[in-house]
Structure 1
Amino acid sequence: MKEYGPFDCDAWAGGPYAGAGEFLEVVVAELLGRAPELVDRHAVELVSAVPGLAPVLPASAAAALDESADVQIRFHPAARTRALAFGLAELVRAWAAVEPATVAFANTDRADGTVVELLDALRPVPGLTLTLGRTSPAEPDQDPAELRATLGFSIARGFYDHGRRVASHGRDRTTPATDLGLWWAFTTGLATCLTALGEPAAARDLYLAAVAATDDPAIVMSASASLGVLHTRHLPADPATARDWLERAMALAAELPEPRRTVLSVFHGQGLALLDSKAGDHDRALRTIDDGLAALDRVLAEGERRQDRARLLHNRAQVHLALRRPAAALADLDAVIALDPYNAEYYTDRASLLRAEGRVEEAIADCTAAIRWHPHLPEAYYNRADLLQSTGEPDAALADLDCVLAQEPAHVDALTNRAALRYEQGDVDGAETDARAGLAAAPGDPHLLCALGLVHAERGDLATAADLFTQALEARPDLTEALVNRATTHFDRGDIPSAVDDLTAALAVTDDPVTRYNRGHAHRELGDWQSAAADFTAALSLDDGADTDFTTELHAAIAECTTHA
């Protein structure tokens, strides 16, 4: 067994991915010689964790992390680092499969959250043994200017744990009186990290402290805009307060020279458009966005600040959707992706619209793009699994659901769908495992109760199955899945009238040929040939003819009823 390390994980010495980055460089160096396509497949997560690898990776990977705009508007979600860890562990798994290895990491008690997540993801990798060394805490030796640069890098890459650490340290060592610029950089950086990490109230307090500490117009404008966004998106709804702060930011932006005046006025105005849209005034929101796009066209050169333009178009797409204009929304998303082709959020949104239009293959392609540019995005895996299932690719759908659940074991919808897929493929034990895991996370969920009911029915425990379907219906009386399956258990237990009642209730919700056929069959068992004929005839009128055996059976059933009428 080969041995590697120790790799120093001290975040103060090496930043995010300290130690883990050096280990990944070793892995990449060895894989480039024997499996370069594997390295390319994980290029985005590799260049995210180890920027120094960019020269040996596809240029698109580095482009996906481009944060060159004057005002950063693309902030990665905090969960991104967990997804990166999943992808990096997948790469290491392939590396360790060739030859088992022991890897030593030092100073893991001073590791950044990114390293903690990666080490957690590496622990179950077959053939890989980790040894972790701990030491006593140490103070950083960076001066405030270096800390500011580190903070900017951390926020741009979505490394909020390290960003919070650095910003807190820098803010403790500066004051508004002695170095206002640096103090504000650490204050707004810390607030950004806290917001991303789910602490918006703490971020609000920092911005309020900034407004109280200085009358510098640039700082007050930025803090006001941020407070408006917090009250709009992250704190409990307070549209009046949000509007007051945004209008204050707009007034200060109006005092700036061009083109900065227009750019920031437009940017802050998007918060007002969001407030209007949330209040139901979509037309006003649309006018604000259109006016903003026109203003940017007047003061910016073609191609300049493309992410600002993309964000406005994305906002407009959301308003078009609210106004029930999917074609206009789709056109905007096409334009958005042309301007900013590496943003996973845009692909995810477009995939939903494409699916609604029946353009399933294109929707799958967009989910795949989202997974590439935000590596291993659980939402995109989940959506793609659903699409793959609809196209008759259950194995691929299962693989995607596995990826979701590897990152989010309590993802209830993924557990529900995987339980159903496993059941359909004959994996009754797997279906039961998923159903019970889902019910542990969401007790009483009607879909999971149905899944567990199917498992019991498959094993012949019809009484328990019927009880589970009944529990599901107590939670969702209109759940046709539960009605149809309970009808089956009634039928199998010889209670045909109860089966008819459940199928009738299901048809009151959704009229479909299979349920019609099943009720017709139940009527036939009861000797009610006239009702059976009516159901078989109705089923034939709803049948699309795709299943020729089913169509033939309907014709035969109608003929049989005619002979007994």
Structure 2
Amino acid sequence: MADHRHHWVRAPHRAARAEARAGLTLPPGLATVSADRRLRGPYTAVGTLLRALVPDALERCPDAVRRHDVELLTTTPELHGVVPATRETLTSLAVPKERTRYYSRLRTLRIAHGLAEFLTEYLRALGDGPRTLVVEDAHRADPTDGEFLAVLLRRMDPALLTVVVGADDGPLDTASSPAAPLARALAAHCARTDAAGTAPEPATETHAETDAELAARYVREDGTTDDPRAARAHAGLPDAERRALHDARRAELEALAEPSLRLGAQLWHAEQGSDPSGAGADLLREAANHCCDLGFYHAVLDYGRRGAALVDHATHPGHWWTFIAKPTTALAALEHSDEILPYYERARALSADPDIHLQCAYGTAMLYTRFLAGEQRDYQLARGWINTAIALAGQHPEPKERAFRTAFNRNGLALIEVREGRPEAALALLDTCIAALDEVLEPGDHALHRSVLVYNRAQVHAGLGRHEDAVADYTAVIAVDPNYAEYHFDRGIVLRRTGRLQEALADFEAAVRLSPPFPEAYYNRADVRAELGDTKGAADDFGYVLTLDPDFVDARLNRASLLAELDDPDAARAEVEAGLATDPTHPQLLTLKAQLLAAEGDTDQAAAACTAALTADPGCAPAWALRGELAYGAGDLAAATADLEHAVALDDDPGMRFNLAVAYHDGDRHPDAVALLDAVITETEDPAARLQRARSLLHLDRPAAAEADLLLALADDPDLTTEAEPLLAALHD
């Protein structure tokens, strides 16, 4: 069988990388794409690939296209009109002025997983053996493409699709997503080829390119050539001539009417052309808004930086504010919150616009409430800023807009109340906001934010344990926004807490269906399946969680436990070892390892694993209990009793108390044993506990009570007859 591997080809120039690729033994090609973000911005490589494959996929595997429509349409806007959008939400449909909710930074990671799965389904439908995907210019990729490549390299079987990543010999920092670093994936999953190479030499043919031709090629190739002669020729052109070339190329690209070009090459040519602060700033503003709405936050920072270099507050106040506001949203989402405050301070210093001061006040309040960590959080400062925002909102002359702005900012105050431990005050604020908007707005006005208010009220109800009220509010928002997966997910959490497991399962399944893959939905569905007795289904769900996130240690633990229940100790042990490779001192994993070792008869190693668990967490009651059981089995009653006493002090689990009662019995501590078993029987009515209590009662010379326990135990569980017979005989001697 062939040894299929993904490949990472490093060389300073494309020509050298192409020559190195030619020396590799590769399957037939699927596609060759460039990831250079200057071409089309976020998802440059993904979009190029999907534009080539999706028309064929609609014929070969239309169900795969339907299941992954969110991923396809989010990354490749040219597919709108080709791929039906079946899962729109109030967030995705909101007009810009009503957009009050932004995606998590992890949404692009979910999209990457969905794309990897779509590609796998397509390749299986395509058949005809393995293929090769070449992705060039990875060192110039936007983090969205870098994240996709990292996921694809880890998840894609190279016997189905061999991925060849081309990059220069420098670092890949700019292409990395913190959630899925590209450099780490390349090192882990690729055979690396380092090729030598020098800059392209002047042509030796009869006609060598002139400087004018080289400059024209540089512009025609959208500044992506790695031929330094072309870059030098372009830089050496007279300013007017150079800008004219860019204007002409922008017009060519604009005529193609492909939206992703407006995020890359078309935008770049506008910056380099004759009107950078006009056409260039317009496209940068459009791109920043678009990418902020879709959660492409690294690109937002890039566009914001470039836009801010072209405009100022005096000449382009609207653009200037976009290049401040959108980067602050991106920085918050990317957890770079300590970089945000200077943006607001600059805006407050330069602008007297009350709308800008309102937004800065709200943003600063949320910064001190939500985004800054530890000692940097300051709820008093936050309250001062949110009250400033509320005061400014109340000055708006138009009644409907005034009501909306006031409600939006009072919602922020409600969050501060929750964080300061006053949930009832938060509920009162939210009730007031919802009632005020219902009174003055038409039913469809500001639908997104009105649903967010009800959702936030549901969150507060859930935090207070008012589960029915929470479910009612979640149900209300689902009615108006049925495709928003997180609403189903959060309602499922509350339904599970109230024991409504089938309804919770239905909600988690809806969350799975409506969203690109995210681990938490499958994790919670697995938990519910396990509670409902579907051990195999639960183990499968935890397995898929680990496909999405191999470092999710609790999923390892739960899957290993379920595999042990399914009588597959080898698979359980493999999961435990994989989890310990990620977290070597995880106490629950170490305890489960001890249980598996004990079941195999390796009691010494099992005891050592328990000790390791207790070193990591002295409060791990199961480890104390298991080590006590092992000591009891080894005949060390004193050690067994001491460990079981530790366990029971930490956890009143009936099984642990039963085992301690057995140890007390063997140590002639019969009153202590009976006291423990009294509590166990009251709680569980366990017939085995009655039988064990009878043993101690006999030692305490209480035969009538012992006989009563024995008769009740046998009535409840006749299988105990063999154990009970010697005790009954002793009663009648």
More displaced 10-residue stretch of structure 1: 367-376 or 162-171: 367-376
The 5 Å alignment of 1:277-356 reads 277-356=418-497
The 5 Å alignment of 1:361-380 reads 361-380=502-521
The CA RMSD over aligned residues, in Å, is 3.1
Determine the C-alpha separation between the residues in 2 that align with 1:173 and 1:485.
68
Determine the C-alpha separation between the residues in 1 that align with 2:630 and 2:583.
25
Determine the C-alpha separation between the residues in 2 that align with 1:58 and 1:388.
32
Who is 2:297 aligned against?
Answer: 160
More displaced 10-residue stretch of structure 1: 194-203 or 486-495: 486-495
Who is 1:141 aligned against?
Answer: 269
Give CA-to-partner distance per residue, 1:275-298, whole Å, 9 cap, x none. 112222222222211111111012
Give CA-to-partner distance per residue, 1:377-435, whole Å, 9 cap, x none. 12222222222222222332233223322333222222222232333334444444443
The alignment covers a number of residue pairs equal to: 565
Determine the C-alpha separation between the residues in 1 that align with 2:450 and 2:74.
25
Note if 1:61 corresponds to 2:61.
no
Structure 1 residue runs without a partner (length 5+): none
Structure 1 residue ranges (4+ consecutive) displaced by more than 6 angstroms after TM superposition:
523-538, 544-550
Amino acid aligned to 1:237 = R
Determine the C-alpha separation between the residues in 1 that align with 2:587 and 2:489.
27
Note if 1:27 corresponds to 2:193.
no
SS in 1 for 2:164: strand
SS in 2 for 1:61: coil
SS in 2 for 1:259: helix
Task: Summarize the Cα distance change of 1:226–1:555 in structure 2 as closer, same or farther, 3 Å threshold.
Answer: farther
Say if 2:94 and 2:448, in contact at 8 Å, map to a contact too. Answer: no
Note if 1:239 corresponds to 2:376.
no
More displaced 10-residue stretch of structure 1: 550-559 or 138-147: 550-559
Who is 2:347 aligned against?
Answer: 210
Note if 1:102 corresponds to 2:132.
yes
**Residue 154 of structure 1: CA displacement?**
0.8
- Among 110, 127, 149, the residue aligned to 1:83: 110
Amino acid aligned to 1:112 = D
**Residue 76 of structure 1: CA displacement?**
0.8
Task: Summarize the Cα distance change of 1:552–1:519 in structure 2 as closer, same or farther, 3 Å threshold.
Answer: farther
- Among 306, 311, 329, the residue aligned to 1:192: 329
Give CA-to-partner distance per residue, 1:420-476, whole Å, 9 cap, x none. 233333444444444344345445332122122223323433122113223333554
- Among 362, 369, 373, the residue aligned to 1:225: 362
Note if 1:74 corresponds to 2:101.
yes
SS in 1 for 2:588: helix
Who is 1:130 aligned against?
Answer: 163
Task: Summarize the Cα distance change of 1:494–1:211 in structure 2 as closer, same or farther, 3 Å threshold.
Answer: same
Larger Rg: 2
Say if 1:314 and 1:332, in contact at 8 Å, map to a contact too. Answer: yes
Amino acid aligned to 1:11 = R
Amino acid aligned to 2:536 = D
Determine the C-alpha separation between the residues in 1 that align with 2:379 and 2:74.
37
The 5 Å alignment of 1:239-278 reads 239-256=379-396, 257-278=398-419
Task: Summarize the Cα distance change of 1:193–1:501 in structure 2 as closer, same or farther, 3 Å threshold.
Answer: same
Percent pairwise identity: 34
Determine the C-alpha separation between the residues in 1 that align with 2:32 and 2:402.
52
Amino acid aligned to 1:43 = D
SS in 2 for 1:141: helix
The 5 Å alignment of 1:304-453 reads 304-453=445-594
Amino acid aligned to 2:519 = P
Say if 1:8 and 1:107, in contact at 8 Å, map to a contact too. Answer: yes
**Residue 206 of structure 1: CA displacement?**
1.0
Say if 1:82 and 1:407, in contact at 8 Å, map to a contact too. Answer: no
Determine the C-alpha separation between the residues in 1 that align with 2:465 and 2:570.
44
Task: Summarize the Cα distance change of 1:177–1:535 in structure 2 as closer, same or farther, 3 Å threshold.
Answer: closer
TM-score w.r.t. length of structure 1 = 0.90
Task: Summarize the Cα distance change of 1:262–1:559 in structure 2 as closer, same or farther, 3 Å threshold.
Answer: farther
Determine the C-alpha separation between the residues in 2 that align with 1:460 and 1:128.
44
Amino acid aligned to 1:144 = A
Task: Summarize the Cα distance change of 1:374–1:212 in structure 2 as closer, same or farther, 3 Å threshold.
Answer: farther
Task: Summarize the Cα distance change of 1:70–1:466 in structure 2 as closer, same or farther, 3 Å threshold.
Answer: same
SS in 2 for 1:132: strand
Say if 1:539 and 1:554, in contact at 8 Å, map to a contact too. Answer: no
Determine the C-alpha separation between the residues in 1 that align with 2:453 and 2:284.
32
Task: Summarize the Cα distance change of 1:400–1:177 in structure 2 as closer, same or farther, 3 Å threshold.
Answer: same
Note if 1:120 corresponds to 2:150.
yes
TM-score w.r.t. length of structure 2 = 0.71
Who is 1:15 aligned against?
Answer: 41
Structure 2 residue runs without a partner (length 5+): 1-26, 168-223, 232-264, 271-279, 689-712
Determine the C-alpha separation between the residues in 2 that align with 1:197 and 1:241.
23
Give CA-to-partner distance per residue, 1:346-380, whole Å, 9 cap, x none. 22221111001111122122222223333111222
Amino acid aligned to 1:32 = L
**Residue 133 of structure 1: CA displacement?**
4.2
**Residue 120 of structure 1: CA displacement?**
1.8
